[in-house]
Homo-oligomer: A and B are copies of this chain.
C-alpha cells in the first residue's frame, strides 16, 4: 500500500503545478477499475476519512460501504459483474458528497457533477465511439422571435451529409427540466447511438436537432451570456406554453438552413420528462408537423392555463387523423407512471393507437437511452 500512497503523492504534486504539466509519471491507481471478469473496483484515498460510501445505479441497492484496505485507502469491489450501461456515481465521505477524484470523466447534471462509469457490451456498445462513419455535431445559434434573442441548439448531421446532395429527414430530441441543448449529447450519448445505428442500417440517416427547452435562456450554463455566473437552482421558465409556441420557428430555421425533407412523414419529435411534455403538446398543437412522436417518461399534466394545453382531446383527434407512429416509454417505478397510465387511457378511449414500452427502474438516463435507441429504429 506504500506504493499506492507514493503514486498518489506524485499525482497530487503534479496537479498542484497546474496546467500543461505532462512529465511522465507512474500511473496512479485507477478508479473505477473494470476487471476482466466484469466486476468493478472503486477506489478512494483520504487519510482523514472514517466512513466512505459509494452511491450509484451500478451498485446493488444504490449504495455500499467502502472498506479501508490500508490506512486511508478505501475500496469497494462489486460482488458480481456490472451490467453493460453508462452509470453515474459519487462517493459520500463522512456524510459529504464528492466525486471520485481518481476519475477525470464527469458529467454535469443540472448544477451537480457526477463521476461516470461506462461498461461496454450489449446496448452499451452503441454508446461508444466505434470505427464507423461519424456525423458532425455542431453548436448552432438561431434567432428566436418568440424569445427576442439568439438561442443555441445542437445539430447532428449524419456522415455523408456534407459530401452528398441528398435531403434528409429530421428528428427533434428534447431534454428534461434539468437539461439543456447539451444533455442528450453528453448524458444521453445520442450522437454515438445515431452513428452506430445508422452505420449498420438499423436507423435511416437523419439530421438530429437538440433544442434548449428553457425559453428564458440563450444556451447551456457556462456557454451563455450568463457566463460562469452563480448556479441557478430555481426552476427555469418553461412548461407555461412559451417554448411549445416557439417550436415552429425552430422547424422553420432547420428547414431553411439544412437540406431537409420538409414534410410530416420525414419529421419526428421525442423527449424525456419535461421534453416528453413538450413533445406531447407541440405535436398535438401542430397536427400536420410530425409523423413520429416519442414520449419518454413524459410529464403529462398541464402546468399552466396557456392555450397550448387547452382542448387536448380535440387536438389529439386531429393529430391521430394523420396516423403518426406514437411511442410511450416509462419505468415501472417512475414517479410519473400514473400520469402515463392516464394518458394511455385517454388514447385508448379515443381509439388512438400507440406503441408502449414498460421498463424496470424509474426516472433516469438508463431508461431514456433505451427508449431513444428503440425509437430511432422506428423512424422514416
Which B residues touch A222, using CB under 8 A? 105
> How many residues in A have their beta carbons less than 8 Å from beta carbons of B?
92
Which B residues touch A109, using CB under 8 A? 19-20
Q: Which residue of B lies closest to A157 (CB)?
A: B138
Min CB gap A164→B, angstroms: 13
- Say if the beta carbon of A98 comes within 8 Å of chain B: yes
Q: How far is A317 from B266 in the complex, measured between Cα atoms in Å?
A: 58
In the complex, the answer to whether A228 meets B97 with C-beta atoms within 8 Å is no
Q: Which residue of B lies closest to A142 (CB)?
A: B134
Which B residues touch A221, using CB under 8 A? 104-105
- Say if the beta carbon of A202 comes within 8 Å of chain B: no
- Known pairs A19-B364, A48-B96, A137-B139; list 11 more (Cβ under 8 Å): A12-B97, A14-B112, A19-B365, A20-B177, A26-B233, A45-B96, A104-B111, A104-B112, A116-B228, A129-B219, A136-B138
Q: Which residue of B lies closest to A159 (CB)?
A: B141
State the 4 A-B residue pairs at the shortest beta-carbon distance, nearest first. A138-B138, A134-B141, A118-B228, A137-B139
Copies of this subunit: 2
From known contacts A128-B225, A141-B134, A178-B22, infer whether A112 and B30 are also in contact, taking CB-CB under 8 Å. no
Q: Which residue of B lies closest to A62 (CB)?
A: B18
Show 12 residue pairs from A and B whose CB-CB distance is below 8 angstroms, ordered by the A residue: A15-B90, A18-B88, A27-B234, A33-B230, A45-B96, A48-B48, A48-B94, A48-B96, A104-B111, A129-B224, A129-B225, A130-B225
